[in-house]
A and B are shown apart, each in its own frame.
Chain A
Amino acid sequence: MNALTIIFYIMAVLMVVFSIMAVTSRKLLRAAIYLLFVLIGVAVFYLAVDYMFLAAVQVVVYMGGILVLIIFSILLTSHLGERLQVVKPTTMLFAAVLSLVSAGVVISVINGFTFITSTFEGDKLTVAHIGQQLLSYDQFGYVLPFEVISILLLAAMIAAIAIAKYKHQGKS
């Protein structure tokens, strides 16, 4: 058992605890900060499996983009001291039973399945290799999803601007 293994288990427990706190915290801003801790943990996991580029994307897009947007909208739409209202106990019980039972089923399936792990030792993944595969149109090339997602991002950007501007024009 080396240091990285111990770090992984500590991190896994912490991430599960922080995700539970993110969905049960009564204060909105705290929920967002607990989400930040989970996202940092996921980035560390990507670093541990040697996907440096993915870890960088996770930090830049999730923590630098999505989380800032979430905190920004929390500050715009609620007062800081405000506590969230809780749902009915029956709903909470139903949701807890549903997720616990489903998690139990999935975990028992995972435990009963033998995964054939590969012993393939490739050379280290470089950004140049990622870029070439992302833009290649041979087998295992990803040029079509790459182009589709660029159109999707453009559409999302235009939609966000249109939604944000729409009411303004309607009022005047």
Chain B
Amino acid sequence: MIENIPLSHILIFSTLIFFTGVYGFLTRKNMITMLISIELVLNAVNINFVAINKYMFPEQLEGHFFTLFIIGIAAAEAAVAIALFINLYRNIRSIDVDEVTEMKH
């Protein structure tokens, strides 16, 4: 068990990962790397949910189930996003955000 690690250290660590993801989302141009940044953000949030669940409210499993649902939604989001990227690449030969000026073809 990791009871002798203070909760604030875990939260600081997840904050750093979260804002790394935000930085990546703002600076990347390729859509796949933007998706990678979103996955980083979602994982940081999951760490937060699990840590607060375990340290502060261990009698209820709310953080545990929220994390489970977030993972499910992330899977659905990634599947749809990658279908869109492949379709875009087939149409305009690029998946850079600057070159995708219209979704309709």
Q: Which residues of B contact A164 (CB under 8 A)?
A: 83, 86-87
CA distance A153 to B90 in the complex (A): 25
Closest to B94 in A: A77
How many whole Å from B18's CB to the nearest CB in chain A?
8
Cβ-defined contact, A15 with B13, below 8 A: yes
Given A66-B75, A95-B23, A122-B59, the answer on whether A8 and B5 have CB atoms closer than 8 Å is yes
Say whether chain B's binding surface is mostly helix, strand, loop, or mixed.
Answer: helix
Is B100 among interface residues, defined by CB-CB distance under 8 A? Answer: no
B: contact size bracket: 35 or more
Question: Within the complex, which residue of B4, B9, B84 is in contact with A2, where a contact is CB–CB below 8 Å?
Answer: B4
Is B101 among interface residues, defined by CB-CB distance under 8 A? Answer: no
The size of the chain A interface, using a CB distance under 8 A, is 86
Cβ-defined contact, A23 with B50, below 8 A: no
How many whole Å from B63's CB to the nearest CB in chain A?
9
Say whether chain A's binding surface is mostly helix, strand, loop, or mixed.
Answer: helix
Closest to B65 in A: A142
Is A127 among interface residues, defined by CB-CB distance under 8 A? Answer: no
Known: A32-B36, A49-B1. 13 other contacts (CB 8 A): A42-B47, A62-B71, A62-B74, A85-B29, A87-B28, A134-B65, A134-B68, A140-B61, A142-B69, A156-B77, A159-B83, A163-B80, A167-B105
List the interface of chain A (C-beta within 8 A of B).
Answer: 1-2, 4-5, 8, 12, 15-16, 19-20, 22-24, 28, 31-32, 35, 38-39, 42, 45-46, 48-51, 54, 57-58, 61-62, 65-66, 69-70, 72-74, 76-78, 84-85, 87, 91-92, 94-96, 98-100, 102-103, 106-107, 110-111, 113, 115-118, 120, 122, 125, 130, 133-134, 140, 142, 145, 149, 152-153, 155-157, 159-161, 163-164, 166-167, 170
